[in-house]
Amino acid sequence: MTEAGATPSLAGGVAVVTGAGRGLGREVAIALAARGINVVLAGRTAADLEATARLIRAEAGAEAVAVQTDVRIPCDVAALRAVTEREFGPAGVLVNAAGIFGPITAFGDSPVDEWIATQEVNLFGPFLTCREFVPKMLAAGWGRIVNVSSAGAILPPVPFDSAYATSKAALNRLTRQLAIELEGTGVTANAIHPGSLKTDMWAEIHSKVTALGEAAGGLGDWVRLVEATGGDSLAEAVAVVIRLIEAPAAVNGEFHWPQGGHQEPVASW
């Protein structure tokens, strides 16, 4: 058992990354594998997960296990834990990077199923994964949970963003609630704003915002900023995740920002 709060050597450890098929989740998985960590890749699209596994073999010279998982479904998440423990042993690191933006519409016009699905992926997914993986972390006396949130949960609201911003605000609170219960155990839970990244999610938002035209307001401004600048550094977002995994147990229940991003950090909680 690791002394509570002490950070062990990460090489040979086990990490689970949701949303590992693309974007930030993919890059985090590659970075962890490069540090000698056994990585389990979780996501809904098997082809994307296998592409990440190929990149890990090519760039990190390591192997990774891909587990097709819908984080909204309890039995899928339970199976993810079972496969992780069968292949590598209990996970000490959990990065919840799976997320969707959801409908970009006026509140009253939002398709009910899409609005609810946004909460299911962005909030219920991390709830289910944490519920599955935290017990073994507590037994080991060490664990690191990083939930990928958004500045949109903290900044003043903009029109047409009720589903995503609400889900991330709730994720922030979930992270805090979990962190306070983990205090003193050697296991931590933190949230991050990854920055304004030009990912596949951004491309989807771009398409929807373009259809709205000038009515998109603040969302349109953000899309144009990312398009004009190329967005924030994906590498810096990965670095934030790695720093939190390597941080001492005193770093717990916090909201972290990338360095040098377009959005200056603001008071969070």
Listed in sequence order, the residues at least 6 apart from 135 whose beta carbon sits closer than 8 Å to its beta carbon are none
Query: Which member of 115, 124, 133, 164 is catalytic?
Result: 164
Residue 190 and residue 254 in contact, taking contact as beta carbons nearer than 8 Å: yes
Q: What is the token pair recorded at 150?
A: 């958004």
Q: Which of 102, 96, 95 is nearest to 119 (CA)?
A: 102
Angle at 257 (CA atoms; ends 254, 261), nearest 5 degrees: 170
* Annotation says 164 is catalytic: yes
Residue written as tokens 């990912």? 199
Residue type at 61? Answer: G
Rounded to whole angstroms, the Cα distance separating 99 from 125 reads: 9
Do 132 and 81 meet the contact criterion of CB atoms below 8 Å apart?
A: yes
Token output for 254: 């916090």
**Phi and psi based region of residue 164 (left: phi greater than 0; alpha: psi -120 to 50; beta: remaining):** alpha
Q: How many CA atoms lie within 13 A of 146 on its CB side?
A: 31
Phi-psi region of 260 (alpha: psi -120 to 50; beta: other; left: phi over 0): left
Both structure tokens of 59: 């760039």
- Residue pair 259/233 in contact by the 8 Å Cβ criterion: no
Residues classed as catalytic: 164
